[in-house]
Every structure is written in structure tokens, then in C-alpha cells.
């Protein structure tokens, strides 16, 4: 079976992961029949650490059988051996990494300095109340390994900065995988940090897909995939283009997932304490503290 020719296998998987809404599995209750006891269904075995390589391979083959059928064996092999970096693990990034793992990408590097907050649970892919206060990167790694135990996942609870860009974007140490990232997914929501990442990726010839703002928007039919140069009605994209131009980065070469819908909400106002003591409310010094209302389903689709 041949994969769509307009996208590379890995690009298709990456873009696919940014726009997939997972469907719930229906559960049916057995009708009670006292005169004829029902035989208990045997649960599908889970690969334990002591499982033999043959058993692990069999479980993995069944788990990814639908993805393999879609892309074909050759295409799925490329996906499995791809190395993808996801930076920013909030509403957009957590869903992107989640679906990349479920789609068969075996090596992910997850980067985010922030911790899970109670207000972020309306849009985070896997976090629960028990995870509030914990590292987003570590929480996501733990959940993904429960889903795909054979995955190689690096969790880096650090902030992306220009000074450490080369280290964070370097290839993996495991020789089984590609020496350079097949794609970098930019899911950051801070202008300065996004610009630093996109400029570094451009300078090093690395492929990147950037997601712009999903906040304040609600119409899934207005989501587009195109170049950063062509994105419209997106204040974040406009600011990014402005600063990238100063760094001589061609915005038309950067693939972008964006919404052309006009924002329905404004930034939430700062209260008196935040106005008087801004540094005590931001995650780090000079980082944003104002937030925009977010409909939980939009980051999932973006």
C-alpha cells in the first residue's frame, strides 16, 4: 500500500498528529444470565519487562497494525525510525507528542520547563489532577511509556533558549535512529522563545512545523496548514514574522498550522497584585503572565 505522495511519511505523521481527535471506545455490558454463567473475557497480555523479544514484537505489531496498513511497511518503518523533537508541551504540544507516539514514532525528545497546572487540565492530553505541580515533560514521558513501552523518550524540563539551542536540537545518542531530527514541532506560545527556535532551526537546516495561537478561537474549519508567510488573522504569526525578518529568516520556508478565525476573546486582565509584582507571577523573569481564554478542543486540533 502506498502512502500519499504529496507528503513524506514522517511529515504526514507529524501533521496528522497535530490534527487528530481521539475517539472514545464504546464498552458493552454483558446481560446477566444466572442460569448460564458468562465466561470471563481474557485480557490482552501486556508486555512486562520479562517478556521475550518475540512476545514484545508480536504485541507491538498488533498495536500498530492499523498505522502500518495505512502507510505500508516501508513507510511505517521510516516512521518508527524517525526522531522528532516536540518543544512546548501544553495544549498543542502534549497532543502532538501523544499522537506521534501512538502513531509509531519510536524516539521523541520532549522539551518544556513548565509544570502542570490545574487550569491547564482542560486542554492537556494526558495530565490528571495528581500531576499538578509536576514537570510537563516528565509526566508526558511517563504516560507515553505506558502506552508504548518500547519507545525511546527523552524528557528535558528546561526552557528553550538561543544559548542552548545547538544542544537541545542535536541528534540522539542512540545510533538506531536518524542522526538529525526528522522534524521539530514548535508548540511554544511565547514570541521570543518561538523566534529563537525557528531561527536556530533555519540556521541549521532543520525541518520545523510551527503552531500559532489556538487561544480565543473555536472554529475548526478555519484551521490551515501553510507557510508562516501566508498565515492571516493571527497576531502571534504577525509578531513572529516581524522578528524573524530582523534575523533574515524567510518566513515562507516555515510550515505553519494556524487558524484564520478572528480571535473571539481578549487577554485576561491582570489583577492588582500582578500589576504591582509581575515577576512573582511569571514562570520565569521577563516571561509572559497574561493569558488568553482557551477552548480545550482547539489546541487538540491545532
Characterize 92-117 residue by residue with b for buried, 16 or more Cβ atoms within 10 angstroms of its Cβ, and e for exposed. Answer: bbbbbbbbbbbbbbbbbbbbbbbbbe
What gap in Å lies between CA 66 and CA 23, rounded to an integer? 15
- Residue bearing cell 520547563: 113
End-to-end CA distance of the chain: 28
Check residue 208 and give its pLDDT.
Answer: 98
Check residue 299 and give its pLDDT.
Answer: 66
- In 3D space, the residue among 99, 117, 116 whose CA is nearest the CA of residue 108 turns out to be 99
pTM for the whole thing?
0.77
Check residue 4 and give its pLDDT.
Answer: 44
Beta pairing partners, 279: none
Check residue 31 and give its pLDDT.
Answer: 32
What gap in Å lies between CA 252 and CA 265, rounded to an integer? 28
C-alpha cell, 32? 446477566
- H-assigned helices in the chain: 9-18, 53-63, 65-80, 91-102, 136-147, 165-168, 191-203, 235-246, 272-276, 297-301
Domain boundaries, the chain: 9-16+60-301
Check residue 30 and give its pLDDT.
Answer: 26
Check residue 69 and give its pLDDT.
Answer: 96
pLDDT < 50 stretches in the chain: 1-7, 13, 15-17, 20-48, 274-275, 278-290
Check residue 156 and give its pLDDT.
Answer: 97
- In 3D space, the residue among 218, 244, 212 whose CA is nearest the CA of residue 231 turns out to be 212
Check residue 268 and give its pLDDT.
Answer: 58
Topology annotation, domain 9-16+60-301: Rossmann fold (3.40.50)
What gap in Å lies between CA 222 and CA 227, rounded to an integer? 15
At 103-135, the pLDDT tens digits run: 999 999 999 999 999 999 999 999 999 999 999
Amino acid at each position: 500500500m502506498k502512502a500519499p505522495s504529496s507528503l513524506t511519511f514522517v511529515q504526514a505523521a507529524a501533521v496528522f498528529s497535530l490534527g487528530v481527535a481521539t475517539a472514545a471506545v464504546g464498552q458493552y455490558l454483558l446481560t446477566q444470565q444466572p442460569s448460564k454463567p458468562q465466561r470471563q473475557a481474557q485480557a490482552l497480555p501486556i508486555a512486562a519487562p520479562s517478556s521475550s523479544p518475540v512476545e514484545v514484537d508480536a504485541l507491538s505489531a498488533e498495536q500498530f497494525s492499523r498505522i502500518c496498513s495505512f502507510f505500508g511497511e516501508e513507510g511505517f518503518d521510516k516512521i518508527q525510525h524517525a526522531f522528532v523533537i516536540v518543544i512546548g508541551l501544553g495544549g498543542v504540544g502534549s497532543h502532538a507528542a501523544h499522537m506521534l507516539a501512538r502513531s509509531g514514532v519510536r524516539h521523541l525528545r520532549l522539551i518544556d520547563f513548565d509544570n502542570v497546572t490545574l487550569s491547564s487540565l482542560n486542554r492537556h492530553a494526558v495530565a490528571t489532577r495528581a500531576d499538578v505541580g509536576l514537570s510537563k515533560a516528565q509526566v508526558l514521558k511517563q504516560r507515553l511509556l505506558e502506552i508504548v513501552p518500547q519507545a525511546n523518550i527523552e524528557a528535558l524540563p528546561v526552557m528553550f533558549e538561543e544559548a542552548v539551542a545547538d544542544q537541545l536540537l542535536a541528534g540522539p545518542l542512540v545510533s538506531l535512529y536518524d542522526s538529525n531530527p526528522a522534524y521539530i514541532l514548535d508548540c511554544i506560545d511565547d514570541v521570543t522563545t518561538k523566534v529563537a527556535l525557528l531561527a536556530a532551526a533555519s540556521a541549521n537546516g532543520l525541518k520545523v512545523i510551527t503552531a500559532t495561537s489556538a487561544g480565543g478561537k473555536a472554529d475548526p474549519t478555519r484551521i490551515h496548514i501553510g507557510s508562516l508567510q501566508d498565515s492571516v488573522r493571527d497576531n502571534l504569526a504577525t509578531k513572529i514574522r516581524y522578528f524573524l525578518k530582523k534575523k533574515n529568516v524567510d518566513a515562507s520556508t516555515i510550515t505553519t498550522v494556524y487558524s484564520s478565525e478572528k480571535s473571539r476573546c481578549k487577554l485576561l486582565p491582570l489583577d492588582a497584585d500582578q500589576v504591582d509584582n509581575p515577576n512573582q507571577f511569571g514562570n520565569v523573569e521577563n516571561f509572559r503572565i497574561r493569558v488568553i481564554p482557551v477552548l480545550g478542543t482547539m489546541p487538540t486540533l491545532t
